[in-house]
Amino acid sequence: MATSASASLSKAVKQQYMELPQGDKVQAMYIWIDGTGEGLRCKTRTLDSEPKSIEDLPEWNFDGSSTYQSEGSNSDMYLIPAAMFRDPFRKDPNKLVLCEVLKYNRKPTETNLRLTCKKVMDMVADQHPWFGMEQEYTILGTDGHPFGWPSNGFPGPQGPYYCGVGADKAYGRDIVEAHYRACLYAGVQICGTNAEVMPAQWEFQVGPCEGIDMGDHLWVARFILHRVCEDFGVVTSFDPKPIPGNWNGAGCHTNFSTKEMREDGGLKAIEDSIERLAKRHSYHIRAYDPKGGLDNARRLTGRHETSNIHEFSAGVANRGASIRIPRNVGQEKKGYFEDRRPSANCDPYSVTEALIRTCLLNEEGDEPADY
């Protein structure tokens, strides 16, 4: 199994240093999304005291020419703190700080999708939009081969692995357990986890989160997963179809509701939203992966519990549809619906914003409105 060289460094020796007192100083790790729209970057600074809110955190900068975000001649980018979490790696009082990125002229970078998402969420705050996102991922060795798979072959066919138990069915549970506990410590709204259909594939769920919190919490959960995998010497992949052929892809099913949908008779509001989504399928497909639908085309084939990328469909308890209404929601006539189209590497800011624009702001057509 190909693991990283740094994974073989002694963690016990490191622990000696991590137990040293740090005085009144606090380490704040600033995290941001790079120019790929998928990769995360981070760096740390020392603060003189523990920050109690975002307002206590200073702006910072970095070299955007090394993160696919600017050219070298004008490469200073601004890091604007947006959300703060406890640091599960360095522990209290240290912090993880999720940041927005602005260019030299204080305009958002192309991959800073949080700014418009926040604006749209503020417009519908009185409707209390809740989201829950189901993040699927695949654990790989550093050579890109799925963790635990035979080095020159395949494991047995899919069937025994989903929610499986046992060394021959669950590949890499230590990573899942470490990530879950780290997220709880950090204050991420993680609400569950399970082994997925393909061996070495797992899922964690984040939510319910209201408004902009959905994107913030999912991005930080992804960062924590990358860091946990780094400690174990393996890699996490959010590729929507990491292994071609008769293996399940990886999505990020998004559950959505408003106050009206959650109250008695809310099924009518759910059905109205689905009707609006049906008329705007291509806009959503473009918003649901970082390559405008190209990544999802490998996954949304109509097989392996997916819908066809070219067709919109909805149904009760139907996992082959674009939109699934859970059976108990159909029975109780209130609750939420699940959009099964977003890919595992989607930007949650883009996905949640698209749902608000179509379902609550009643936008139509292939382009988002400008507010």
* pLDDT (0 to 100) of residue 317: 83
The answer for 116, left when phi > 0, alpha when psi is -120 to 50, beta otherwise, is alpha
CATH of domain 5-109: 3.10.20.70
- What is the full per-residue pLDDT of the chain (371 aa) written as tens digits? 799 999 999 999 999 999 999 999 999 999 999 999 999 999 999 999 999 999 999 999 999 999 999 887 788 999 999 999 999 999 999 999 999 999 999 999 999 999 999 999 999 999 999 999 999 999 999 999 999 999 888 999 999 999 999 999 999 999 999 999 999 999 999 999 999 999 999 999 999 999 999 999 999 999 999 999 999 999 999 999 999 999 999 999 999 999 999 999 999 999 999 999 999 999 999 999 999 999 999 999 999 989 999 999 999 988 889 999 999 999 999 999 999 999 999 999 999 999 999 999 999 999 999 99
* pLDDT (0 to 100) of residue 312: 96
Model confidence, pTM? 0.98
- Give one DSSP letter per residue of 224-284, joined into a string: HHHHHHHHHT-EEE--S-SS-SSS---BEEEEEE-HHHHSTTTHHHHHHHHHHHHTTHHHH
Q: Count of CB atoms within 10 A of residue 318's CB? A: 16
**Domain positions in the chain:** 5-109, 121-360
* Topology (CATH level 3) of domain 121-360: Creatine Kinase; Chain A, domain 2 (3.30.590)
* pLDDT (0 to 100) of residue 72: 75
* pLDDT (0 to 100) of residue 171: 97
Structure tokens at 127: 């409707």
* pLDDT (0 to 100) of residue 361: 98
* pLDDT (0 to 100) of residue 152: 87
* pLDDT (0 to 100) of residue 75: 87
* pLDDT (0 to 100) of residue 319: 81
7-38 burial: b if 16+ Cβ within 10 Å, else e: eeeeeeeeeeeeeeeeeeebebbbbbbbbebb
